[in-house]
Amino acid sequence: MTQCDLNIGSRRMALLCDGHLDADFGKTATGLLIWCPEEVVAVIDVEHAGKTVDAVFGFGRDIPIVATVAEAFKLGARELVVGVATIGGVLVPAYRAKIAEAVRLGCDVISGLHEMLADDPELSSLAAEHHVAIRDVRRVPSTPVGMNRARTIANRRVLTVGTDCATGKMCTALALTREFTSRERDAKFVATGQTGIMIEGDGLAIDRAVCDFASGIAEKLVLDNADRDWLFIEGQGSIDSACYSGVTLSLLHGTAPQALVLCHVGDHHARSHDDGAPLLPVAENIRLYETISTPVLPAKVVGLSLMTNGLNASSAREAITRLEAEHGLPATDPLRFGVANLTDALIEFFEEER
Amino acid sequence: MTQCDLNIGSRRMALLCDGHLDADFGKTATGLLIWCPEEVVAVIDVEHAGKTVDAVFGFGRDIPIVATVAEAFKLGARELVVGVATIGGVLVPAYRAKIAEAVRLGCDVISGLHEMLADDPELSSLAAEHHVAIRDVRRVPSTPVGMNRARTIANRRVLTVGTDCATGKMCTALALTREFTSRERDAKFVATGQTGIMIEGDGLAIDRAVCDFASGIAEKLVLDNADRDWLFIEGQGSIDSACYSGVTLSLLHGTAPQALVLCHVGDHHARSHDDGAPLLPVAENIRLYETISTPVLPAKVVGLSLMTNGLNASSAREAITRLEAEHGLPATDPLRFGVANLTDALIEFFEEER
């Protein structure tokens, strides 16, 4: 199932992040820097220009940060990626001229915004003139309304869910996919958001679907991957978020997972993209997700993922141990400590299921 | 807040229902026939042509059913309404020629389909040529992502929710609005679906929103009606439906009601628009809706609505009494027995709240 021809593995990407590299918004760039740094030639951000990504963030190797599109092109960039995920998915106005410049230099453009760049008359005619492609990875195909068919598929489906937005749902699903693959299991990362799609090269951005058809998009992701043994499905939003809970529930009911991994951020106490409502406790989240899954297919939270940014290694390990004891579930920070324990727990869970 | 200029109160509508008058699909026509029969000139359906609506359905007065658009026009029709709500909202192919005929006769077209008729090059240029309007009531405006603001509005919000699709959520909200208005309360019906919008003349079709923005649409409906005392919000789908639960939850969290009325159909045991999964019991529905509302604003199910079609009056009353006893909540069939008891219960509930 390839929705977009992204030349996975042979890209030479420049990530356009001007002014947003250190904000929440930089999720797209961060995801690509963590999961496919070998395909990133440069990051474009005037504020940090001259440094390496690693020097600024502690990951992303020695990828250079440059100030202009022209510099990135000189370093070999052939795809310009819009590296920020704005609320509402609108184009940062100042980016328009930079995208046009990249097109004139012969770069393809990859965007995950709601605002479809290929539908922009100016950019699309410029792209045609310069024989380059504009790939809006968030564009979704027409599907029928979901018909509750995912639960009839016999493979193993693990959905990452969150206590909030930006809690590591994509990273956890990617880490699990790689760990299962390294253990010679047939595992597939099912991308449901723009960054995941850019990393995996396929998937569908469920939040872009017309609401009535969101369950159909989720169902399609499962039906199209029915021949894969293990699906690790990238979760979206959170069930208690007034902003995005509809996306979350469409994905949960539409993909009908048997197992969930709940993702949490250690120092996170108020919901993002909100007026600051307090986060529900982890235990309450577990109860809500399990309860609301039951009408379609009862799902169980089998493990926990904890982002421990800002803690030193020993404090991070302590926080994880505390979380495990509190909930009687294995926990980890996937990026720091791997997901071996979650993998063991998931294999055991599905063996008991059969 | 008027999203579409529908000339409420002075329309002369013909409802196009060919082949679908007696099916589930006829929801749009049925709604208009029940709630604004004085504005319906004729129903177009070749199968039942020659009869009156009342003779076929037991409601809808002596409105004639005719076979052709031309006959409806002769009876004075000046608006053609696409009277069916197909799954996926696509145009019944055979309707295209009939719509074109109505346009040529000078009728406006009102449609609630997902397929936007005004975007159809053939129909839109024909409409321009004949100086008529095509009004797609399901079209939604761009809104920001919801920001969890509805719960901060001080008015009284009652959302109708369902044990399934097509359980009388719109009718219950409309009946409550009329009853509250007749008791000289300031009450507003908040339409969230195409038929409700056609009846009320304003509202927003939440299921048409891009999923990420569905909560923003719901929030806008509350913010735009912040000056009204009582809002009766038309519910959509059901929380346990794999097909539409995302729409349902976006609406619940986005409008942040304090009170819910749960709508059920007496002889309904398997979910519609599904592979026949069994319905959850009413008590389980109450628990799920109340639980999932809590993270945003805890809502309570204050009353029950039961569609008793197919039962005689005394059996219907018995079924309602049984339901009341079982759940300790007032119940009624709004169309047969009115909503006085639900109205009393809601007034009492909000008095206790303050």
pLDDT band of residue A83 (cuts 50, 70, 90) is confident
Range A150-353 has CATH code 3.40.50.300: yes
pLDDT band of residue B2 (cuts 50, 70, 90) is very low
Contact A249 B245 (CB under 8 A): yes
Instruction: Report the pLDDT value the prediction gives residue A2, as an integer from 0 to 100.
Output: 39
Q: What percent of chain B has pLDDT over 90?
A: 81
Residue B243 with chain A: CB contacts under 8 Å: 145-148, 215
Instruction: Report the pLDDT value the prediction gives residue A344, as an integer from 0 to 100.
Output: 98
Token digits for A279? 């986060």
Contact A88 B151 (CB under 8 A): no
Nearest Cα neighbor of B257 from B234, B286, B285 is B234
Instruction: Report the pLDDT value the prediction gives residue B88, as an integer from 0 to 100.
Output: 82
pLDDT tens, position by position, A140-160: 998 888 999 999 999 999 999
Q: What percent of chain A has pLDDT over 70?
A: 95
**How far is B130 from chain A, CA to nearest CA, in Å?**
30
Q: What is the rounded average pLDDT for all residues in chain B?
A: 93
**How far is A350 from chain B, CA to nearest CA, in Å?**
23
pLDDT band of residue A85 (cuts 50, 70, 90) is confident
B214 and chain A in contact, CB less than 8 A: yes
pLDDT band of residue A88 (cuts 50, 70, 90) is confident
Provide the 10 A C-beta neighbour count for residue A318: 13
Average pLDDT over residues A224-253: 96
Judged by DSSP in three states, B178 sits in helix
Judged against a pLDDT cut of 90, whether residue B3 lies above it is answered with no
pLDDT tens, position by position, B41-66: 999 999 999 999 999 888 888 999 99
A247 and chain B in contact, CB less than 8 A: yes
Q: Phi/psi at A159 (nearest 5 deg)?
A: -105, 130
How many CB pairs below 8 Å do chains A and B form together? 164
Instruction: Report the pLDDT value the prediction gives residue A274, as an integer from 0 to 100.
Output: 65
Pick from A89, A213, A280: CB nearest B295: A280
Judged against a pLDDT cut of 90, whether residue A203 lies above it is answered with yes
pLDDT tens, position by position, A177-202: 999 999 999 999 999 999 999 999 99
Average pLDDT over residues A50-68: 91
Instruction: Report the pLDDT value the prediction gives residue A317, as an integer from 0 to 100.
Output: 97
Judged against a pLDDT cut of 80, whether residue B23 lies above it is answered with no
| Residue of B309 and B289 predicted with greater confidence | B289
Average pLDDT over residues A28-53: 94
Contact A207 B211 (CB under 8 A): yes
pTM as predicted: 0.94
Average pLDDT over residues B268-276: 67
Pick from A88, A147, A250: CB nearest B245: A250
A157 and chain B in contact, CB less than 8 A: no
Instruction: Report the pLDDT value the prediction gives residue B19, as an integer from 0 to 100.
Output: 85
Contact A210 B213 (CB under 8 A): no
Residue A275 with chain B: CB contacts under 8 Å: 147-149, 152
Instruction: Report the pLDDT value the prediction gives residue A25, as an integer from 0 to 100.
Output: 61
Instruction: Report the pLDDT value the prediction gives residue A252, as an integer from 0 to 100.
Output: 98
Range B13-136 has CATH code 3.40.50.720: yes
Judged against a pLDDT cut of 50, whether residue B120 lies above it is answered with yes
Nearest Cα neighbor of A189 from A172, A205, A165, A210 is A172
- Among chain B residues, the shortest Cα distance to A284 is held by B295
Residue B296 with chain A: CB contacts under 8 Å: 240, 242, 277
Q: How far apart, in whole angstroms, are the C-alpha atoms of residue A138 and residue A197?
A: 8
Contact A212 B145 (CB under 8 A): no
Contact A210 B209 (CB under 8 A): yes
- Among chain B residues, the shortest Cα distance to A254 is held by B242
Judged against a pLDDT cut of 50, whether residue A3 lies above it is answered with no
Q: How far apart, in whole angstroms, are the C-alpha atoms of residue A169 and residue A234?
A: 6
Nearest Cα neighbor of B157 from B187, B178, B181 is B187
Token digits for B214? 């569905």
Provide the 10 A C-beta neighbour count for residue B235: 30
Q: How far apart, in whole angstroms, are the C-alpha atoms of residue A16 and residue A37?
A: 15
**How far is A8 from chain B, CA to nearest CA, in Å?**
27
Q: What is the rounded average pLDDT for all residues in chain A?
A: 93
**How far is B214 from chain A, CA to nearest CA, in Å?**
7
Say if the ipTM goes beyond 0.90: yes
Contact B296 A240 (CB under 8 A): yes
Contact B273 A243 (CB under 8 A): no
Judged against a pLDDT cut of 50, whether residue A134 lies above it is answered with yes
Contact B295 A275 (CB under 8 A): no
Pick from B145, B152, B254: CB nearest A87: B145
Instruction: Report the pLDDT value the prediction gives residue A115, as an integer from 0 to 100.
Output: 93
Judged by DSSP in three states, A162 sits in strand
Pick from A147, A244, A251: CB nearest B212: A244
Contact A295 B213 (CB under 8 A): no
B192 and chain A in contact, CB less than 8 A: no
Judged against a pLDDT cut of 60, whether residue A118 lies above it is answered with yes
B253 and chain A in contact, CB less than 8 A: yes
Instruction: Say if B13-136 and B150-353 have the same CATH topology.
Output: yes
| Residue of B326 and B145 predicted with greater confidence | B326
pLDDT band of residue A273 (cuts 50, 70, 90) is low
Contact A212 B215 (CB under 8 A): no
B140 and chain A in contact, CB less than 8 A: no
Provide the chain A residues 87-116 that lie in CB contact (below 8 A) with chain B: 87-89, 114
pLDDT tens, position by position, B98-117: 999 999 999 999 999 999 99
Cα torsion through A113, A119, A120, A126, rounded to 10: 110
A224 and chain B in contact, CB less than 8 A: no
pLDDT band of residue B1 (cuts 50, 70, 90) is very low
DSSP A216: H
Burial class of residue B121 (count of CB atoms within 10 Å of its CB; 0-12, 13-18, 19+):
exposed
Amino acid at A224: D
A239 and chain B in contact, CB less than 8 A: yes
Contact B277 A296 (CB under 8 A): yes
Contact A242 B207 (CB under 8 A): no
Instruction: Report the pLDDT value the prediction gives residue A84, as an integer from 0 to 100.
Output: 86
A288 and chain B in contact, CB less than 8 A: yes
CB of A338 within 8 A of CB of A179? yes
Instruction: Report the pLDDT value the prediction gives residue B108, as an integer from 0 to 100.
Output: 97
Instruction: Report the pLDDT value the prediction gives residue A292, as an integer from 0 to 100.
Output: 94
CB of B4 within 8 A of CB of B197? yes
Contact B89 A212 (CB under 8 A): yes
CB of B232 within 8 A of CB of B180? yes
B306 and chain A in contact, CB less than 8 A: no
Domain boundaries, chain A: 13-136, 150-353
Q: Which of A91, A211, A253 to mutate to test the interface with B (most CBs of B within 10 A)?
A: A211
Instruction: Report the pLDDT value the prediction gives residue B26, as an integer from 0 to 100.
Output: 79
Alpha carbon B253 to its chain's center: 19
Q: Which of A149, A157, A212 to mutate to test the interface with B (most CBs of B within 10 A)?
A: A212
Contact A246 B246 (CB under 8 A): yes
Consecutive H or E run containing B332: strand B331-332
- Among chain B residues, the shortest Cα distance to A251 is held by B246
**How far is B166 from chain A, CA to nearest CA, in Å?**
15
